[in-house]
């Protein structure tokens, strides 16, 4: 039985969130606007004070008609004019700061749009990678199932062929063994007795025994002894 391929859990990919773009120019321009507004407020207070002093000087000069009163009116008028000029400058700075804020906002929005587009692209890329991983897993599973089925079919055919081969071998061996057992089970046939051969001659022809040579040496020795 084919073992299934061990499937590893795919790591979950997380899309990066687009971070808010902090523009140094916008921060600087915003602070300039705040400062300009504070300057306008302070200049407005001074203008109001100068106008009050001018009105009081005029009133006094009208009632007294002295040179000093008239001089005080001139001084108060100059001070009021100076404060109005300061207020105008403060308003001009505020307008410049607001223009800088508008420009910084445009730049910040452009940067935010770029960051958002980048984040969207990364999210899209991530979705494609995730889909590719899912499709790959699906394709591998389908291929594995197809391959396993095909391999099982081939293995079954091999097993069937081997089974037939072994069966034929076993059948032949059994047939051979049965033949041997059958042969061993049959009683042994008695061989017919052969006719007795003619009786052998009782007395075999004996060869004549060779005569012994006379013992010459002994007789010669005896003769020598007798002569002595």
Tens of pLDDT, residues 140-163: 999 999 999 999 999 999 999 999
Q: Judge whether residue 130 has pLDDT over 70.
A: yes
Query: What's the chain's average pLDDT?
Result: 81
Residue 2 pLDDT > 50, yes or no? no
Dist CA 179 CA 176 (whole Å): 5
> Can you tell me whether residue 101 is helix, strand or coil?
helix
CA distance readout (Å), 64 to 49, 50, 192, 202, 217:
22, 21, 190, 209, 217
How far is 81 from 79, CA to CA, in rounded Å?
5
Residue 206 pLDDT: 53
Q: How confident is the model over 75-120, as pLDDT tens digits? A: 999 999 999 999 999 999 899 999 989 999 999 899 999 999 999 9
pTM: 0.44
pLDDT of residue 23: 76
Largest CA distance in the chain: 229
Please compute the mean of the pLDDT values over residues 60-71 and round it to a whole number: 85
Averaged over 11-19, what is the pLDDT? Answer: 54
Q: Looking at residue 70, what is its pLDDT?
A: 85
pLDDT at residue 16, rounded to an integer: 55
What lies within 8 Å, CB to CB, of 80 at 6+ separation is 47, 50, 51, 53, 54
Q: What percent of the chain has pLDDT over 70?
A: 72
Tell me if 82 sits within 8 A of 39, measured CB to CB. Answer: no
pLDDT at 225 exceeding the cut of 90: no
Residue 75's CB: how many other CB atoms inside 10 A? 13
């Amino acid at each position: 039985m084919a073992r299934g391929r061990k499937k590893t859990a795919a790591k979950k990919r997380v899309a990066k969130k687009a971070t808010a773009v902090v523009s140094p120019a916008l921060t600087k321009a915003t602070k300039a606007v705040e400062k300009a507004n504070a300057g306008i407020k302070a200049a407005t207070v001074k203008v109001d004070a100068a106008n009050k002093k001018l009105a009081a000087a005029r009133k006094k000069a009208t009632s007294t008609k002295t040179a000093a009163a008239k001089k005080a009116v001139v001084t108060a008028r100059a001070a009021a004019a100076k404060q109005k000029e300061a207020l105008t400058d403060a308003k001009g700075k505020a307008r410049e700061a607001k223009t800088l804020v508008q420009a910084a906002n445009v730049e910040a929005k452009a940067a935010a749009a770029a960051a958002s587009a980048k984040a969207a692209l990364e999210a899209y890329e991530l979705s494609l990678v995730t889909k590719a991983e899912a499709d790959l897993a699906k394709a591998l599973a389908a291929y594995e199932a197809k391959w396993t089925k095909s391999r099982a079919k081939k293995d079954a055919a091999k097993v069937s062929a081997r089974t037939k081969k072994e069966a034929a071998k076993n059948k032949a061996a059994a047939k051979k063994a049965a033949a041997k057992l059958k042969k061993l089970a049959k009683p042994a046939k008695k061989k017919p007795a052969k006719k007795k051969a003619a009786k052998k001659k009782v007395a075999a022809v004996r060869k004549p025994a060779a005569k012994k040579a006379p013992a010459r040496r002994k007789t010669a020795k005896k003769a020598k002894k007798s002569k002595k």
